[in-house]
Amino acid sequence: MSTLPTPSSTDQDSPPPFWTLARLAEALEHVSARHGGAGTDEQTLAEFAADAEAQLGLLALQLTQGSYRPAPSRLIPVAKPGGGVRELLLPAVRDRIVQAALARCLADLLEPDFGEASHAYRPGHSVETALHRLQALRDGGLVFVAVCDIHHFFDSVDHRRLFSLIDDLPLERRQREQVKACVRVEVADGQGQGAWSLARGLSQGSPLSPVLANLFLMAFDAACARAGLALVRYADDCVLACASEAEAQSALAFAADTLTSIGLALNTRKSRLASFAEGFEFLGAFCGAEGQLGERPGEAACLPPTADPAHGAAAADDERPPSHGHRPRLRTLYLLENGAVLNKEGERFIVARHGDVLLQVPMMRIDQIMVFGNVQITTPALHDCLERGIPVMLLSGRGRFFGVIDPLDARSVPLQRAQFALESDEPARLALARPLIAGKILNCRTFLGRLARARQTNMDAPLAALKSAAQAAGQAADLEILRGIEGAAARAYFAAWQTVLPAKWQFAGRNRQPPTDPVNALLSYGYTIVFYNVLALVRARGLNTHVGVLHDVRPGHPALASDLMEEFRAPVVDAVVMHLVFDGKLKPGDFSWPETPGQPCLMADGSRKHFIHLLEQKLNTTVSHAGQRLDYRRWMDMQVLQYAAALRTPGLPYVPFAIR
């Protein structure tokens, strides 16, 4: 006897039941195509499919009779690529089938009401259609954008508001209640000790959540349309295209207010103003002023700072996007002039001294600020830095680090646990430290070989010594031996410098704390800047800056930044220093030599600014490694990410950055 209700002869003209075997079988195909594990009932897709006819028949009956109840969903933490954890909820197979069927029904019902702004989770729409829409707006003369990110959108959806929207849909009452039951899903605690109901948000992992997300954001889409704003939205990622920067600022404020009215909030750290002229990232694609969005322009070096270095302040990019397709990984505002004041007016940073404006730069173009010496920062400017996640690093005029001001951030707890566990595991530390130092030595060797060819100097002996040192570093028996190999390699490397540097520079080898000659002064200053660039990237990826593998933990020393900068000393800083020495634009007379032993050799202000200008150009230069061409800052970020991956996955090798 069939388990499905059979209509009698008196109801042949009645509408067919919603929950049919055909509808559920189609939903099963959808769920099967996406695979997925078992839910809390431990039933797998294979087990359900092996008895599909009976399983679907029973499910149809329960749904039609109103006796269906979803099982608790399994909570699954998933690591985010950039650090942190996303919590997914995995429903049971039978529940995924029900949710997939309801999602298809809602999508068909709502599709005519979705506007041209919405491009996610819709048939015939995709990331590509969103980019095509944005490109059309650009080509129509809208040159500025407000990039909007909704703060924790899927976790923030208010159920009361959502249920009110569901109640307004032309569905049978039972279907509406089934949709709500799927939204209010119970969540297993993972220990078999019970479950709790989801009181807010949409479960990430449910087939029903995407269409409900679009339903919830229809009010936002409509409000933007009524206001005459050109919106492109993909789920909770939005861009509002505008004709001017002022309009973009107003659009960003409008988006914030509108989201507040529906119980959501704008993510102020990720939302920003941008322009096609500058270029920006949206949905993983580069959006520039020319060509098809998503296409990367031809590769070339990034561009120098905007400001005249003589002004004592420099922003580390200009009005144009980098020609290799990325904006610089970190755009730095250097504040060098004693007595200067950093303030804000609207959406711009203003650098002034004695009432004279030295520099104006949009806040959206700055990722970090490095303050050298006696420079003041007003409270409003500092507040905006904290709100936007712009770290402010405080250093002495000579480059000694005092501290960093940045907002509280949710760091990756599992990642930092792995760091602290590594601290007491010397074999694991050694496995990561070896390639770091071997990579550093090999880069020194490569640079020295280039220098020997350029200066037509025989350096066969130091080159052979560095090759042997790199091999020894890769096989070092412990950290102390590794440190000894590194020290010996550094002495051989800088001894070779003495054979090419003119005598007037008085370079007798590497010295620091303090540097006593111009070359060492340049090296120390350059290493300081690279160090704090690496430090910012390490912090951004959720790593604890003080726990490294080669350098021991000690108060006030970000050991991990010291570790991860090693590979970049020679190709970045050393290359710029040698360029300055030999191009004739910088002379020993541009430095204040120490009058007594123990005093530092100091760069003049003009020398510092010229050096920073060239160092920024170098950091923004593209270079090939591992089959890719990226600028040096992005390679630094890639190495930080690779280090984090090695921490998460014990045994995963760390491959050093190497120039050829």
pLDDT tens track for 183-218: 988 887 655 555 677 788 898 888 899 999 999 999
Backbone angles phi, psi at 354, to 5 degrees: 55, 35
Task: Give the C-alpha separation, 291 to 288, whole Å.
Answer: 8
Which residue, among 656, 628, 626, 631, has the nearest Cα to 642 in the 3D structure? Answer: 656
- Whether the Cβ atoms of residue 485 and residue 472 lie closer than 8 Å to each other: yes
Q: How high does pLDDT run on average in the chain?
A: 82
Helix (H) or strand (E) holding 463: helix 460-473
Whether cis (ω within 30° of 0) applies to the bond prior to 514 is yes
- Whether the Cβ atoms of residue 564 and residue 534 lie closer than 8 Å to each other: yes
Q: pLDDT at residue 295 above 60?
A: no
Question: Looking at per-residue confidence, does 251 or 69 come out higher?
Answer: 251
pLDDT of residue 311: 36
User: If you write DSSP's letter for every residue of 502-539 in order, what string do you get?
Assistant: -GGG---S---SS--SHHHHHHHHHHHHHHHHHHHHHH
Q: What three-state secondary structure class fits 393?
A: strand
pLDDT of residue 80: 64
Q: Using DSSP bridges, classify how beta strands 368-372 and 332-335 pair: parallel, antiparallel or unpaired.
A: parallel
Question: Looking at per-residue confidence, does 585 or 455 come out higher?
Answer: 455
Sorting pLDDT into bands at 50, 70 and 90, what band is 403? confident
Q: What three-state secondary structure class fits 235?
A: coil
pLDDT of residue 310: 32
pLDDT of residue 560: 92
Two structure tokens written together for 9: 């002869």
Helix (H) or strand (E) holding 382: helix 379-388
Using a 10 angstrom Cβ sphere, with 0-12 exposed, 13-18 middle and 19 or more buried, the burial of residue 547 is buried
The dihedral sign for the CA sequence 360, 366, 372, 374: positive
Q: pLDDT at residue 590 above 90?
A: no
Read off the pLDDT of residues 430-447 as tens digits, 9 standing for 90 and up. Answer: 999 999 999 999 999 999
- Whether the Cβ atoms of residue 119 and residue 130 lie closer than 8 Å to each other: yes
Backbone angles phi, psi at 648, to 5 degrees: -70, -30
Rounded to the nearest 10°, the torsion over CA 502, 508, 511, 517 is: -40
| Neighbour tally for 298: CB within 10 Å | 7
Sorting pLDDT into bands at 50, 70 and 90, what band is 18? confident
pLDDT of residue 658: 86
Two structure tokens written together for 498: 């003495």
Longest dimension (CA), the chain: 111
Task: Give the C-alpha separation, 382 to 406, whole Å.
Answer: 9
* % of the chain beyond a pLDDT of 90: 33
pLDDT of residue 195: 62
